[in-house]
Amino acid sequence: MNLISVEHIAKSYGTLRLFEDLSFGINHGQKIGLVAQNGSGKTSLLKILAQKDNPDTGEINFRNDIKIGFLSQEPDLNPNLNVEESILASDNEMLKVISQYEKALQNPSDADAYQKAFEDMEAHQAWDFESQYQQVLSKLKLQDLQKPVKSLSGGQKKRLALAILLLDSPDLLILDEPTNHLDLDMIEWLEGYFTQAKMSFFMVTHDRYFLERVCNQIMELNQGELYTYKGNYSYYLEKREERIQQQETSTEKAKQLFKKELGWMRRQPKARTTKSKSRIDDFEDIKKRAQQRRKDHEIELEINMERLGTKIVEFHNVSKVFDNNTLFENFDYNFKRGERIGIIGKNGSGKSTFLNILTENLKPDTGKVVLGETLKFGYYRQGGLEVKPGKKLIEVIKDFGEYIPLAKGRKISASQLLERFLFDRKKQYDYVEKLSGGELKRLYLCTVLIQNPNFLILDEPTNDLDVVTINVLENFLMDFPGCLIVVSHDRYFMDKIVDHLFVFENGNIRDFPGNYSDYRQYEAHKPPEKTETKPTPTKPQEEENPENKLSYLEQKELKQLETQIKNLEREKETLQQAFLKDLSAEEIKENSIKLQEIEANIDEKTERWFELTE
C-alpha cells in the first residue's frame, strides 16, 4: 500500500540548491533510513514529508486520511502543559480511556468511577495498549506525569516528544535523529521496539547499528542525487562500493573510505542468541579481539604530536560525592600511552564529573590527580563552539593553529584539515553563521584537533554529525597516537574506536577490557544474582570482610594472578613466534606440549581471577 509518492521535487534557500528532481515512494511496512552529509537537505526533506514545509517545485501525493507523526530535533511542545497533558493532547481516544483507568486505580474508594473506567477499557479493548503505554513511559523515564513541560531538560523534551509519537500510533513516522538524547539502554529498547513493531517510518540517524538492525531500506542523498538500496546498512555499504567503482569520476579516496567501513562491518561478530558459551571463554575472546583491532589498522595520517612522558595522568584514591550520592570512591588508575577508553554509565552516574576532575576543572573530595609535564588536553564538549558572526571558517581554525605536524617533517595545514573534514576550499571562505548545526559541530572538532593535543577527550562527538563525517572522524582517530577518552551513545563509534571501557555503576568505576558490544555480550551471559540470605559467619571477625569485599589475602592473590597471567601470555606469544622458525619434528612436538601446558595454566588462573573479581 502506497503511503506517499514524491514526484520531481526541488528545494533551495537563496542561491543554495539543496536538491532537485527527487522522486521516490514510501509504502506500508517500509522502514527507510536516509543517509546524507550535513547541509545536503536531510531535515528540509523530512519537513516536506511531514507537511511542515513545501517543495519549490514538484508535488507530493499523500494517501487519503493518512496520519503522519513527525519527530523533529527541536520538539514543539506546549510549555503550559505537564507531561500527562502533553500525551493526552493527541486525538487518540485510547489514550484518554487509559488515563481515566489509571486515575481510577489511584482512587479505589470511588467504586463507580472504577467500574466505568474498567468497562471503557473493555469496550475499547485497551488492555494491550495500556501495557504498551506503561512500557513506553517507563523505558523513556517519564514516570513523573505531573511535571511541567517548561521545567524539562532538552533531553527530556525529546523523550516526551518520542513517547507522544509512539503512543499516537500514526500511519507513518518521520524521525529526525530519534536516538539523540537517549541513553544506551533506551536506544537498545527503541531498536527492539522498532524491529518488532509493524510500522512504517522514514528516518535520519547517525546511529549505524540502528540503520543496520532496524531499517529494511537505505536511501542516500549525495550531491542532489538520490540512490535507493533495498536492504540494511551493511547491504547499502556493499552496493554503494560497487556503484562508486562503476563511476569513472569516483575518487580512490571515496572507494577506500567505504571499503574500510564495509570491511569493518563484515568482521564484527554476530550477536549471540544463546548463553551456551562460558563467560571465561567469552572474556578470553573479548581480550583477543580488543588487542587485534588496533593491529589491523593501517595508519594513513602519522601525526607527530608532542611526545607523552612516562607520567601521563595518575589517579590516587580519588572519590567524589554529590548530594549524598557517591559517584565513585577510592579510584586508582595510571593512564598509559596510546590508551583508548570509552566511558559508559547511566545519566547522573558521574561521567561528566570524572572528566572535570581529570582536566582539573573540579577537585575530588579525597585523593589527588597528578598530570604529566608534557600533557596537552584537547577537550570536545557537548556545549559546542561559540563564534562571533562575521568570521570565515578558515579564520576560525587559524585562530587556534596554522597546521598539525606529521612525521618526517611533513604537516597538515588548517585548510587541509578542513578539507579532510569535508569543507572544500570554497566552503572554507563562507561565514560561520551560514553553517548548519552539524557543520558547526564539524568545525568545532577541527578547532580541537588543530591544537595538536596528545590527550583527546570527546564528549558525545557524533551528535548532529552525518554518517559520512563520523566515518572521517573515526579514520582520523584511528591514526591518533595519543591517549583518547570517548563518552558516546553511538555504539558503532565506540566499538570501532575504543579498546576498553570505564563502566560507571553503583558508585564504582569498573575497567572492562573490550568495546561496547563486547561488554553487552559479556553482561548478557552473567548468571542471575543470588538473593538467598547469607548464614551468620562462624569464622573469627578478622577473617571476614564485613562489606563483602575481598580479604587481604584474596586481594594479594588477585594481584599475583594478574601478574602471572600477563607473564604466561608473554610466554605463549614467544612460543607461538618460535613455530615460525625452522624446527625439527622433535622441537615442534616439545613446543606443542609446552604450549598446551601454558594455555591450560592460563585458563586455570583466569577462572580463579574470575571467581575473585565476581
The CATH number of the domain holding residue 515 is: 3.40.50.300
Do 309 and 428 belong together in one domain?
no
pTM: 0.69
273 in a structural domain: no
221, 249, 268: which is the final residue of a domain? 268
Quick one: pLDDT at residue 318? 94
**17 φ/ψ angles, rounded to the nearest 5 degrees:** -95, 115
358 in a structural domain: yes
Instruction: Tell me the sheet residues that pair with 362.
Output: none
452, 485, 509: which is the final residue of a domain? 452
Q: Which domain holds residue 475?
A: 279-376+453-527
Q: How many angstroms separate the CA atoms of 365 and 347, rounded? A: 21
Do 292 and 399 belong together in one domain?
no
Instruction: Check which CATH number belongs to the domain holding 555 and give it.
Output: 1.10.287
Burial label, 533 (beta-carbon count in 10 A; 0-12, 13-18, 19+): exposed
Q: Give the Å distances, CA to CA, from 126 to 101, 119, 131, 293, 596.
A: 10, 10, 9, 50, 62
534 in a structural domain: no
Which residue carries 563511476 as its cell? Answer: 247
Do 433 and 507 belong together in one domain?
no
Do 356 and 461 belong together in one domain?
yes
Quick one: pLDDT at residue 333? 94
Do 39 and 143 belong together in one domain?
yes
Q: How many angstroms separate the CA atoms of 166 and 129, rounded? A: 11
The ranges of the chain with pLDDT < 50 are: 250, 272-277, 299, 531-548
495 in a structural domain: yes
Quick one: pLDDT at residue 123? 85
Q: Are 82 and 33 in contact (CB under 8 A)?
A: no
399, 430, 452: which is the final residue of a domain? 452
Spatial CA neighbour of 10 closest among 18, 39, 52: 18
537 in a structural domain: no
Do 463 and 522 belong together in one domain?
yes
Do 459 and 444 belong together in one domain?
no
Q: How many angstroms separate the CA atoms of 412 and 468, rounded? A: 21
Q: How many angstroms separate the CA atoms of 241 and 484, rounded? A: 30
Quick one: pLDDT at residue 194? 92
Q: How many angstroms separate the CA atoms of 463 and 158, rounded? A: 14
SS3 of 295-309? HHCCCCCCECCCCCC
Do 521 and 495 belong together in one domain?
yes
Do 243 and 340 belong together in one domain?
no
Summarised one tens digit per residue, pLDDT across range 51-71 is: 999 999 999 999 998 999 999
461-467-470-474 Cα dihedral, nearest 10 degrees: 130
Quick one: pLDDT at residue 369? 94
SS3 of 514-528? CCHHHHHHHHHCCCC
Do 137 and 187 belong together in one domain?
yes
Estimate to the nearest angstrom the gap between the alpha carbon of 606 and the chain centroid.
Answer: 30
Q: How many angstroms separate the CA atoms of 62 and 54, rounded? A: 13
Estimate to the nearest angstrom the gap between the alpha carbon of 506 and the chain centroid.
Answer: 21
Do 462 and 559 belong together in one domain?
no
Quick one: pLDDT at residue 300? 55
Q: Which three three-digit cell numbers place residue 371?
A: 598530570
Q: What's the structural domain count of the chain?
A: 5
Which residue carries 487519503 as its cell? Answer: 64
444 in a structural domain: yes
Quick one: pLDDT at residue 70? 94
390 in a structural domain: yes
591 in a structural domain: yes
Q: Which three three-digit cell numbers place residue 476?
A: 582520523
Do 461 and 323 belong together in one domain?
yes
